[in-house]
């Protein structure tokens, strides 16, 4: 069962489109997995819409200052580009196990890089979302453990599948974890089957912290991403 959710105010900012991309992606992916937060975002969406458009009484005519806008929209023969959402069933195969990605992350499937070995029983693949943010998948094989460390930036993590413990807490599939620089932690997947998480770091200046400290250019190609239609 999912125990760790984004805060209500984060969900609301997400709905308003006011969050940075990294946090928005992870909250969206969490909502793909968490019916509770999904229904909260739906009711926020509706209540904001009601606030914005309170009395559905119509204005009988178009106000003068909007007439030219109306004309240009309806007479414009140029097209808005059609967009298409990925409806692909996207799975990641890791060491013989298959993981289905939440719909939001599936839309980034073509931006997932090669998997490479980090250290010990840890593997990673970065997600190329551009900009200065670092987004990556981390796979902790059974018994994996990350050395104790503190944070210098804000780190967001979503558990896609599996379990790990950290600071006496147990995190499971769907859990959304937000850590700031006050946290010291040491995630371990000691007693569990492998665990797949996706994590985002907003301040990549501090590659010596968090999951990001694990990035090691001495990587070998090992896992592969499958995109099944």
Partner 1 sequence: MLIGIPANQQRNETRQPKDCSVEMSGYLDTIAKQRCKASFAKIFSYFAPRLRSYALKQMGNEAIAMELVQDTMSNVWQKAHLFNAEKGSPSTWIFTIARNIRFDMLRKLQNRKEDVCSDDLWPVLCEQTADTKIAPLDEQITLEQVGQYFNELPAKQQRVIEAIYIDGKSQQEVADELEIPLGTVKSRTRLALQRLKDMLREYD
> Which does residue 119 touch among partner 1, Zn ion, none (CB within 5 to 8 A, set by kind)?
none
Question: H or E element: which one contains 159?
Answer: strand 155-161
Please tell me whether residue 37 binds Zn ion under the rule CB under 5 A: yes
Q: Would you give the binding string for Zn ion spanning residues 5-24, x where CB under 5 A is met?
A: x-------------------
Q: Are 170 and 127 in contact (CB under 8 A)?
A: no
At a CB cut-off of 8 Å and minimum separation 6, what does 124 contact? 115, 116, 118, 136, 137, 138, 139, 211, 214, 215
> Which does residue 5 touch among Zn ion, partner 1, none (CB within 5 to 8 A, set by kind)?
Zn ion
Per-residue tokens: 197: 């998480």
Kindly state the smallest distance separating residue 61's Cβ from partner 1, in Å. 6
User: In terms of CB distance, is 14 or 192 closer to partner 1?
Assistant: 14
CA-closest candidate to residue 40, choices 17, 9, 3, 2:
9
> Which does residue 70 touch among partner 1, Zn ion, none (CB within 5 to 8 A, set by kind)?
partner 1
User: In terms of CB distance, is 54 or 96 closer to partner 1?
Assistant: 54
CA-closest candidate to residue 136, choices 170, 92, 103:
92
User: In terms of CB distance, is 76 or 218 closer to partner 1?
Assistant: 76
Binding residues for Zn ion (CB under 5 A): 5, 34, 36-37
């Amino acid at each position: 069962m999912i125990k760790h959710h984004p805060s209500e105010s984060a969900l609301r900012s997400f709905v308003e489109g006011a969050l940075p991309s990294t946090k928005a992606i992870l909250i969206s992916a969490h909502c793909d997995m968490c019916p509770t937060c999904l229904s909260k975002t739906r009711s926020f969406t509706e209540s904001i819409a009601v606030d914005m458009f309170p009395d559905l009484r119509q204005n009988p005519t178009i106000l003068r200052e909007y007439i030219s806008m109306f004309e240009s929209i309806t007479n414009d023969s140029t097209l808005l580009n059609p967009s298409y959402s990925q409806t692909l069933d996207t799975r990641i195969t890791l060491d013989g196990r298959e993981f289905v990605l939440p719909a939001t992350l599936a839309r980034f499937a073509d931006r997932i890089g090669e998997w490479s070995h980090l250290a010990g029983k840890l593997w990673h693949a970065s997600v190329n979302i551009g900009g200065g943010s670092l987004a990556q998948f981390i796979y902790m094989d059974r018994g994996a453990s990350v050395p104790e460390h503190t944070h210098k930036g804000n780190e967001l993590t979503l558990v896609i599948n599996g379990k790990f413990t950290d600071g006496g807490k147990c995190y499971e599939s769907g859990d959304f974890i937000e850590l700031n620089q006050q946290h010291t932690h040491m995630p371990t997947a000691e007693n569990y089957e492998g665990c797949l998480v996706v994590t985002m770091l907003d301040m990549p200046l501090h590659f010596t912290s968090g999951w990001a400290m694990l990035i090691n250019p001495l990587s070998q190609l090992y896992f592969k991403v499958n995109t099944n239609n």
